[in-house]
Amino acid sequence: MRALVQCVSEASIDIEGQASGTIGRGYVILLGVGAEDAPAQAERLWQKISKMRVFEDEAGKTNLSLGDVEGDVMIVSQFTLYANCKKGNRPSFTEAARPETAIPLYEHFVSLAQADVAHVVTGQFGAMMDVHLSNHGPFTIWLDTDNL
């Protein structure tokens, strides 16, 4: 499982051209599910994300976690995080999970976040989405469960 985690001061999402949700300070998580992923990867990834200390304390040091700042979360499915561009100029997505595997794992990850975070907004799997965000920091972190 792969995640691109961005600290934001605010974000919103439009699904199929319709406003769908907004968050304040917190994370926008673009989440990719790999063909070999299982619930254990979702759990390990969420635990890492939820405990990351990337928010500034009173002294300006990145010592605070999402829970410490009572942050919000937006989770957007993003199979393109598994793009393979080794051959030619057209990306291959064969390493991404097929929808019948990816959707339940995406939903499992969302449920883990909802258990810990008061305000979670999600995208819609397979839909055309526009994500608008104000990157705070900027602070963007790439996580891959193969490397955690």
- Output the pTM of the full model: 0.95
Residue 40 confidence (pLDDT): 97
Q: Helices (H), strands (E): how many in the chain? A: 2, 8
What's the token pair of residue 14? 């439009």
In tens, the pLDDT along 99-109 reads 999 999 999 99
pLDDT over 80 (residue 138): no
61 burial via Cβ count (<10 Å: 0-12, 13-18, 19+): exposed
Q: Tell me the pairing of strands 129-144 and 72-77.
A: unpaired
| Separation between Cα atoms, residue 1 and residue 81, nearest integer Å | 9
What are the residue numbers of the active site? 78-80
Alpha helices in 1-148 (DSSP H): 39-51, 99-116
